[in-house]
Amino acid sequence: MRKLLFVAGALAVAAALSPAEAADGKTLNMPAIVMFFLFVAATLGITYWAARRTRSAADFYAAGGGITGFQNGLAIAGDYMSAASFLGISGLVFASGFDGLIYSVGWLVGWPIILFLIAERLRNLGKYTFADVASFRLEPTPIRILSATGTLTVVAFYLIAQMVGAGKLIELLFGLPYLYAVIMVGALMIVYVAFGGMVATTWVQIIKACLLLGGATFMALAVLWHFGFSPEAMFRTAVEIHPRQGSIMAPGNLVTDPVSAVSLGLALMFGTAGLPHILMRFFTVADAKAARKSVFYATGFIGYFYILTFIIGFGAITFLMNDPSYFKVGTGGAYNKITDMLGGTNMAAVHLANAVGGSLFLGFISAVAFATILAVVAGLTLAGASAVSHDLYASVIARGKVSEDREVRLSKMSAIAIGIVAIFLGYVFENQNVAFMVGLAFAVAASCNFPVLLMSVFWKGTTSRGALIGGFAGLIAAVAMVVLSPAVWVKTFGFKTALFPYDNPALFSISIAFLGIWLFSKLDASQRADNEKALFDAQYIRSETGIGAAGAVAH
């Protein structure tokens, strides 16, 4: 174990240092690189420590239920303060102004749904994944197949965003080719998950959340200090400098029509309650009370952080747009103030760190941003690996007749496979905005995972047939509409005209999912459907109290 971690760290260092200076002829930022590798070394140390504590499936999937409410709240905040939040939202505010806030507001609004509807019931009904909850009274095999498929699809979209953010960051920091940067991120991610499991992922998230909150606070205060702590002066300067001028203080630069606005808002709100790597966190605490506290603490940390990203985005406009050193300057010294930023607009926050704090603070923010991405990627990979090993193999293929050791081994193998897929997807979608890509992941989560979870827990009439058909209908509709949208069909695949006119499909796919679950549950007149409806009361007692009804499920 120790040798493998050492080799992984050595490979990461060698890959980063070898061709960096030759790639673009520029001098490397050594303070930034030193800080970066100090963090990588520290997290590998945490992984080694966690690996020695991970002895069972419960340890690997849920940290043995030994995480406190406050710790879990910080870890959830760490999961949420991802590349999409830190790099993506600040980049969207930098490019589009006010409209960038739709993501932070939408994501934050999703938390009351989890707090009041899901957190306690999830902890009382489940074991390792949300599929445990959805299949509590419904037929386990088809529901777990559906849940695992939805989980893997969400993980794939979410991983794209994180891998793009990490690849661009390493490319900018070391001068590495983008492909090498993505491979390095994928290799480290596999090490964290395969050896450390949930224990390592949780503690990396906690440390990263503290560092990111501290770094973002310093950056925001430095920006406000420059303007005498007057947000009005900052906004006025941003309007004068930005190519879009006064329009950046009004909606319409990013989301141009009401249907897109409503669709994106629904995806961000309801997708939060369907994210597998977030839902898994409620199984790491001891009881429902701790689960509720987790959401309470996470909401406070996340809300504060989103205020900071807004200031950072506008600060990047005022500090960077008139400085050619942060852009690819063309012939005659001309450059586009939005599209020609070094590393793309996703790097606006990283460049701002250099502008307000110099190379040392750039190194700190770069290391924290990389940690942000790596920790979230580890959580996503663990969720995907759990779907394969626990939901599909252990519960469906082996039907519970599998040892914990074999299940965990398969989960580690799945983590390796998911890491390879993540590298490929990160390379293909190199030029997509990370916040936008995460928005698509939320759309899929809101169209499959959330409707099935909500209806199975709260509507007595839900049947296996209805959940299966409605869930798959929402999932297929969401993925198909995403692929056929302008963002993918035109901008990524290169076709001239999009076959689906909106970038975000949530308004349509969520409706399809809920309608399908309701309709096909109503049409299901089988004896199994009657049994599932009769088991609802037992499920309700268990979800509210956490006791009793444990043996009531007939499957």
- pLDDT: which is higher, 246 or 74: 74
The pLDDT of 16-22, averaged and rounded, is 40
16: pLDDT strictly greater than 60: no
**Using CB atoms within 10 A of its CB, is residue 27 exposed (0-12), middle (13-18) or buried (19+)?**
exposed
The pLDDT value given to residue 545: 67
Which residue has 């050492």 as its token pair? Answer: 6
Q: Across-strand partners of 341? A: 327
> Band of the pLDDT at 83, cuts 50, 70, 90?
low
234: pLDDT strictly greater than 50: yes
The pLDDT of 62-73, averaged and rounded, is 84
Question: How is residue 364 written in tokens?
Answer: 């700190």
Kindly report the average pLDDT of the chain as a whole number. Answer: 80
The pLDDT value given to residue 548: 47
Lowest mean pLDDT among 56-70, 93-107, 423-437, 497-511: 423-437
- Cβ atoms < 10 Å from Cβ of 528: 15
Lowest mean pLDDT among 10-14, 36-40, 73-77, 308-312: 10-14
Q: What is the pLDDT of residues 389-442, one digit of tens each?
A: 877 887 778 776 777 778 778 878 888 888 888 888 888 777 666 666 777 788
The pLDDT value given to residue 220: 94
Q: Calculate the CA dihedral of residues 173, 175, 181, 184 and round it to 10 degrees.
A: -80
Q: Which of 432, 415, 350 is nearest to 379 (CA)?
A: 415
> Band of the pLDDT at 466, cuts 50, 70, 90?
very high
The pLDDT value given to residue 549: 40
70: pLDDT strictly greater than 60: yes
- Cβ atoms < 10 Å from Cβ of 487: 19
The pLDDT of 95-113, averaged and rounded, is 80
The pLDDT value given to residue 397: 81
The pLDDT value given to residue 223: 94
CA–CA gap between residue 402 and residue 389 (Å, rounded):
10
CA–CA gap between residue 161 and residue 224 (Å, rounded):
29
The pLDDT value given to residue 255: 76
> Band of the pLDDT at 216, cuts 50, 70, 90?
very high
475: pLDDT strictly greater than 50: yes
The pLDDT of 460-466, averaged and rounded, is 91
Q: What percent of the chain has pLDDT over 90?
A: 15
The pLDDT value given to residue 96: 85
> pTM for the full model?
0.79
363: pLDDT strictly greater than 50: yes
478: pLDDT strictly greater than 80: yes
The pLDDT value given to residue 13: 43
For residues 165-204, b (16+ Cβ closer than 10 Å) or e, as one string? Answer: bbbbbbbbbbbbebebbbbbbbbbbbbbbbbbbbbbbbbb
Q: For 2-51+64-545, CATH number?
A: 1.20.1730.10
Q: What is the pLDDT of residues 119-141, one digit of tens each?
A: 777 777 767 777 888 887 888 88
527: pLDDT strictly greater than 80: yes
The pLDDT value given to residue 100: 80
3-class state of residue 55 by DSSP:
coil
**Using CB atoms within 10 A of its CB, is residue 234 exposed (0-12), middle (13-18) or buried (19+)?**
buried
551: pLDDT strictly greater than 70: no
The pLDDT of 532-547, averaged and rounded, is 74
Task: List for the chain the helix, strand, coil content (%; round to 5).
Answer: 80, 0, 20
Up-side HSE of residue 514: CA atoms within 13 Å toward CB?
A: 12
- pLDDT: which is higher, 101 or 352: 352
3-class state of residue 1 by DSSP:
coil
φ, ψ (nearest 5 deg) of residue 251: -70, 155
Q: Which of 91, 109, 110 is nearest to 445 (CA)?
A: 110
Query: CA of 341: how far to CAs of 32, 50, 325, 326, 337, in Å?
Result: 19, 39, 9, 6, 7
- Asked if 123 and 346 count as a contact pair (C-beta separation under 8 A), the reply is no
The pLDDT of 350-365, averaged and rounded, is 86
- Asked if 480 and 474 count as a contact pair (C-beta separation under 8 A), the reply is no
> Band of the pLDDT at 547, cuts 50, 70, 90?
low
The pLDDT value given to residue 377: 77
The pLDDT of 91-108, averaged and rounded, is 82
The pLDDT of 28-54, averaged and rounded, is 75
Q: What is the pLDDT of residues 243-282, one digit of tens each?
A: 888 888 887 777 778 888 888 888 888 888 888 888 888 8
The pLDDT of 309-320, averaged and rounded, is 92
Up-side HSE of residue 374: CA atoms within 13 Å toward CB?
A: 35
